[in-house]
Structure 1
């Protein structure tokens, strides 16, 4: 074999080995690339799983928040119902009784016109609907109320003893007696349907006189029968 052919054979063998080495290197690179692709896909899958977990947690958290809001709303509703029941119970407990003079004794009047009476000696005022400074009873709730008033006066030739029950400025029932001697004791009562804020009081009848003392002869009383 000539030297040129031997050299050509050696060159070809070198090129073949180099090609095989490069092919192996390329296969290794492809394998490494495929491994990286697999890792990336695994990471993407793991990331997607984490995203799904986060969304699930967000949904669970939202559900818990909604449940807490619902529980709070139910709690507030229960508290409101309790408060309403408490107020209803309080306003259903309304009653008062008072006599005319806080101290001393004597006749009030006579006056030329009807004059409001203020019963200052309070023995009961449950619910504080009666005001001993004005003589007004103010209805705290709509309902049926019963009122009674008892008057006392000395007999007199010119002056009787009387008063009228008034609601919001309008007369309802009167109690009146007149005789020249001895004492008189007129009385009356009424059951009224009152709206919240209605005012009930007594007005002394014109040209009459009314007596009271430490024995509390002259009284005004009222109480709530039931709400409506």
Structure 2
């Protein structure tokens, strides 16, 4: 723009020189016309220059604004990149967590399958149990029906048993030996008479002879206890059946204290068989009426 203005000024100068040198009116008129045109052109150029300067200022302003927007865009781009990096980290974390969740899901599915199988097994067991219970219930109902249909027979059996129990012999006895202190056998065996009768159901024991006589054929149990003060001596006792020795017990003592000797037998007896206790020759026993140190007992277990 400045070059164009300089060119116009040069043309004007040349035109002035030519006017002075030639001095003709025609030339002056042409030069005036050209000058006028040049002036108009300069005015137009000035106006164009002003517009151009304005446009330049506008462009500079726009350029500054564009630079600011560019800087803002770049800053925003950095922020977006940072946000994207954070998002990518979160995505990676979520993917890792997703893998763990998938593993747990697979494990849970396996557990669910196992529980379903266990449930099926339990259902089968319950079904079998219910069927067995129903069978047992049916059997019990049948048994109950059978029991209900035979009350009369049962009542008859009960009455027969009661009558049999009432009719069965009742035999039991216990007796103490004496209340006189020492009982001594001399040079011969001594049949012991347990004269202090405590119990004698059935009267099978004879308190005068000391013999038990079986009233019925059956199985009986007999037991005895005897005592003596032993000072370097023995205590000896025997049990007899039908005057035949079945058992002998003995004990030795040296302390002068009271010693006890006990025993018992289960015997099968025929009606009329006898059982008694015998003190061998040369031995002794001790008893009194308060404590019954020496006793003889027996009872019928059951008849045969």
TM superposition score normalised by structure 2: 0.44
Matches for 1:84-99 after TM superposition, within 5 Å: 89=166, 92-99=169-176
Alpha-carbon shift at residue 205 of structure 1 (Å): 2.0
Which residue of the partner structure matches residue 187 of structure 1? 262
Gaps of 5+ in 2: 1-159
Q: 1:171 aligns with which of 223, 245, 260?
A: 245
CA separation in 2, counterparts of 1:143 and 1:189?
A: 17
- Per the alignment, in what secondary structure is the counterpart of residue 206 of structure 1? coil
Which residue of the partner structure matches residue 286 of structure 2? 211
Q: How big is each residue's C-alpha offset from its partner over 1:58-78, in whole Å with a ceiling of 9 and x where there is no partner?
A: xxxxxxxxxxxxxxxxxxxxx
| Contact 1:146/1:222 (8 A) holds in 2 | yes
- Per the alignment, in what secondary structure is the counterpart of residue 253 of structure 2? coil
Distance 1:144 1:111, change over 3 A: same
TM superposition score normalised by structure 1: 0.58
Which residue of the partner structure matches residue 76 of structure 1? none
- Which entry has the higher C-alpha Rg, 1 or 2? 2
Tell whether 2:290 aligns with 1:222: no
Alpha-carbon shift at residue 111 of structure 1 (Å): 2.1
Which residue of the partner structure matches residue 47 of structure 2? none
- Per the alignment, in what secondary structure is the counterpart of residue 132 of structure 1? coil
Distance 1:142 1:206, change over 3 A: same
Tell whether 2:235 aligns with 1:161: yes
Matched pairs, number: 141
- Greater CA drift, 159-168 or 137-146: 159-168
| Contact 1:155/1:178 (8 A) holds in 2 | yes
Alpha-carbon shift at residue 221 of structure 1 (Å): 0.1
CA separation in 1, counterparts of 2:298 and 2:188?
A: 25
Distance 1:134 1:91, change over 3 A: farther
Greater length-normalized contact order (CA 8 Å, ≥ 6 residues apart):
1
CA separation in 2, counterparts of 1:154 and 1:165?
A: 21
Write 1 or 2 for the structure with the bigger share of helix.
2
Distance 1:227 1:177, change over 3 A: same
Gaps of 5+ in 1: 1-81
Which residue of the partner structure matches residue 72 of structure 1? none
